[in-house]
């Protein structure tokens, strides 16, 4: 969340920046500042009472030592009167602090200056394009038909066993999934990321730490008996490794990668764009996460973008990078770049990665900090990116690489699949 000090230092600037996300921050910022004024008044009164109690305690000891019982009793009566009011003050102070925190959690992250103005995906900016466009006949098959033709993915069986959005991968389809995961993990390790295997369920504190709660609880699968959540992305457990941690400056940056299944309810999704692998409730993904000093985070963001671009180039897929406008960004992000690949049979772009810098927004929730050489403590910057999400990568690979003889496997995957073609 935004720090209270940032809001207090320049509330009009905060309101102006959040308008880029289409968020009218004035009402909540005004309320936060009003509550903060009340909180400071109550805190000052509590501090004053505590100081007075300390002085009275000292005077009681002096009166008792001198045998001045009447004066000691008067001082004791004053102590009782002050303590009687202090409990109410402390309760009101706790209420103010709780309300202030609740309000801060409702305020999105401020977009950085590079974020384009706009409210919908139509306002996103294409930053870069690359990769060879496939030359396929008009009757090229979409991936769900190819999956059935070559017995790679069984969507109907998934519906029977679980429900829509939970497919079975079979034979060479399962092998391709495993190959993509291993390729992405090996590539991340070669780029200097430390692989971790995190838990696939998290507690509510972890959801709050990275901003899924209270913003996206409707999209998460909730195990109510244990009050745990199935992760929507490995970003959540991996970033929470550093919750309530003060990292020595010399240990930064922290760079981790993780494979995980991901679960998203995708409530409200419908229509032709959710066919096949386009939108699932359970899918596989490799995530890269970085914890950085603030002055290094935007250079780190560029490195992450280059890493994702390199994966797409090795896979031979046509791609472009979108710089998201304010209205299309997530609640927690300061800037986000989406990578999309061209789906030749569907004739549309499919999102396969988001790479984001959250600046101090997540770190403030997480209390993820670092200690510099002079022993001062600062908030870190957090970043993450999909490198990559599998379903739409698989969809594009199947569609773009179809030939009369079968589906050609990209060179970079063959050492993992053990086959060159799906036939």
CATH number of residue 312's parent domain: 3.30.930.10
Per-residue pLDDT of the chain (423 residues; tens, 9 = 90+): 999 999 999 999 999 999 999 999 999 999 999 999 999 999 888 888 888 888 888 888 887 888 887 887 787 777 777 776 777 888 899 999 999 999 999 999 999 999 999 999 999 999 999 999 999 999 999 999 999 999 999 999 999 999 999 999 999 999 999 999 999 999 999 999 999 999 999 999 999 999 999 877 788 999 999 999 999 999 999 999 999 999 999 999 999 999 999 999 975 555 557 899 999 999 999 999 999 999 999 999 999 999 999 999 999 999 999 999 999 999 999 999 999 999 999 999 999 999 999 999 999 999 999 999 999 999 999 999 999 999 999 999 999 999 999 999 999 999 999 999 999
Using only the alpha carbons of the chain, give its radius of gyration: 28
Whether 125 and 91 map to the same domain: the answer is: no
Q: Are 11 and 33 contacting, i.e. CB atoms less than 8 angstroms apart?
A: yes
Judged on CB neighbours under 10 Å (0-12, 13-18, 19+), 238 is: buried
Angle 402-407-409 from CA coordinates, rounded to 5°: 120
Residue 301 lies in a domain: yes
Residue 113 lies in a domain: no
Query: pLDDT digits over 2-47, tens only?
Result: 999 999 999 999 999 999 999 999 999 999 999 999 999 998 888 8
Share of residues in the chain with pLDDT > 90 (%): 84
Tokens matching residue 73:
């009793």
Residue ending a domain, among 39, 72, 105, is 105
How many domains does one find in the chain?
Answer: 2
Whether 126 and 95 map to the same domain: the answer is: no
d(CA 361, CA 164): 35
Residue 116 lies in a domain: no
Whether 76 and 139 map to the same domain: the answer is: no
d(CA 262, CA 166): 11
Whether 53 and 91 map to the same domain: the answer is: yes
Half-sphere exposure of residue 224: CA atoms within 13 angstroms, side-chain side: 0
Residue ending a domain, among 50, 79, 105, is 105
Residue 112 lies in a domain: no
Residue 110 lies in a domain: no
Beta bridge partners of 340: 320, 351
Whether 170 and 81 map to the same domain: the answer is: no
> Residue 47 is part of which domain span?
4-105
Angle 182-343-118 from CA coordinates, rounded to 5°: 100
Phi, psi of 370 (to 5 degrees): -135, 155
Whether 205 and 264 map to the same domain: the answer is: yes
Residue 373 lies in a domain: yes
Whether 60 and 153 map to the same domain: the answer is: no
Q: Is the dihedral of CA 245, 284, 229, 28 positive or negative?
A: positive
Beta bridge partners of 423: none
- For the beta carbon of residue 376, count every other beta carbon within 10 angstroms: 10
d(CA 277, CA 299): 33
**Per residue, what are the HEC states of the chain?**
CCCHHHHHHCHHHHHHHHHCCCCCCHHHHHHHHHHHHHHHHHHHHHHHHHHHHHHHHHHHHHHHHHCCHHHHHHHHHHHHHHHHHHHHHHHHHHHHHHHHHHHHHCCCCCCCCCCCCCCCHHHCEEEEEECCCCCCCCCCCCHHHHHHHCCCEEHHHHHHHCCCCCCEECCHHHHHHHHHHHHHHHHHHHCCCEECCCCCEEEHHHHHHHCCCCCCHHHCCEECCCCEEECCCCHHHHHHHHCCCEEEHHHCCEEEEEEEEEECCCCCCCCHHHCCCCCCCEEEEEEEEEEECHHHHHHHHHHHHHHHHHHHHHHCCCEEEEECCHHHCCCCCCEEEEEEEEECCCCEEEEEEEEEECCCHHHHHHCCEEECCCCCEEECEEEEEEEEEHHHHHHHHHHHCEECCEEECCHHHHHHHCCCEEC
Residue ending a domain, among 71, 105, 139, is 105
Whether 9 and 60 map to the same domain: the answer is: yes
d(CA 419, CA 423): 10
Whether 99 and 133 map to the same domain: the answer is: no
Residue 286 lies in a domain: yes
CATH number of residue 58's parent domain: 1.10.287.40
Whether 246 and 378 map to the same domain: the answer is: yes
Whether 284 and 322 map to the same domain: the answer is: yes
Q: Is the pTM value of this prediction over 0.75?
A: yes
Whether 95 and 125 map to the same domain: the answer is: no
Query: pLDDT digits over 266-287, tens only?
Result: 755 555 578 999 999 999 999 9
Beta bridge partners of 300: none
Residue 294 lies in a domain: yes
């Amino acid at each position: 969340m935004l720090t209270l000090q940032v809001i207090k230092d320049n509330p009009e600037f905060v309101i102006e920046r959040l308008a880029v996300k289409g968020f009218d921050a004035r009402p909540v910022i005004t309320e936060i500042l009003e509550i903060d004024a009340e909180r400071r008044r109550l805190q000052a009164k509590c501090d004053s009472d505590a100081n007075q109690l300390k002085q009275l305690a000292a005077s009681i000891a002096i009166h008792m030592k001198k045998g001045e019982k009447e004066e000691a009793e008067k001082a004791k009566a004053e102590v009782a009167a002050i303590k009687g009011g202090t409990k109410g003050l402390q309760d009101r102070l706790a209420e103010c602090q709780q309300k202030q925190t609740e309000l801060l959690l409702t305020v999105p992250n401020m977009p950085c200056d590079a974020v384009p103005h706009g409210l919908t995906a139509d306002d996103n900016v294409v930053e870069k394009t690359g990769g060879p466009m496939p030359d396929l006949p008009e009757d090229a098959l979409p991936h769900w038909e190819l999956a059935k033709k070559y017995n790679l993915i069984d969507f109907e069986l998934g519906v029977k066993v679980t429900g829509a959005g939970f497919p079975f991968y079979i034979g060479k389809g399962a092998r391709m999934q495993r190959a993509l995961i291993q390729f992405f993990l090996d590539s991340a390790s070669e780029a200097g990321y430390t692989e971790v295997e995190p838990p696939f369920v998290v507690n509510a504190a972890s959801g709050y730490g990275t901003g899924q709660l209270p913003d996206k609880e409707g999209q998460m699968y909730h195990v109510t008996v244990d009050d745990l959540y199935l992760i929507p992305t490995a970003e959540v457990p991996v970033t929470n490794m550093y919750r309530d941690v003060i990292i020595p400056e010399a240990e930064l940056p922290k760079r981790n990668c993780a494979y995980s299944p991901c679960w998203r309810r995708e409530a409200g999704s419908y229509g032709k764009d959710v066919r096949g692998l386009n939108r699932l409730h359970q899918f596989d993904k490799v995530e890269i996460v970085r914890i950085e000093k603030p002055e290094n985070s935007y250079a780190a963001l560029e490195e992450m973008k280059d890493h994702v671009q390199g994966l797409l180039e090795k896979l031979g897929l046509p791609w472009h990078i979108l710089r998201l406008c304010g209205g299309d960004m997530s609640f927690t992000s300061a800037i986000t770049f989406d990578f999309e690949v061209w789906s030749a049979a569907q004739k549309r772009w499919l999102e396969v990665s988001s790479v984001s810098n959250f600046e101090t927004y997540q770190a403030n929730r997480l209390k993820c900090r670092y200690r510099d050489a002079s022993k001062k403590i600062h908030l870190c910057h957090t970043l993450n990116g999909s490198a990559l999400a599998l379903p739409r990568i698989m969809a594009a690979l199947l569609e773009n690489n179809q030939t009369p003889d079968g589906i050609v496997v990209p060179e970079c995957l063959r050492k993992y699949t053990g086959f060159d073609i799906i036939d």
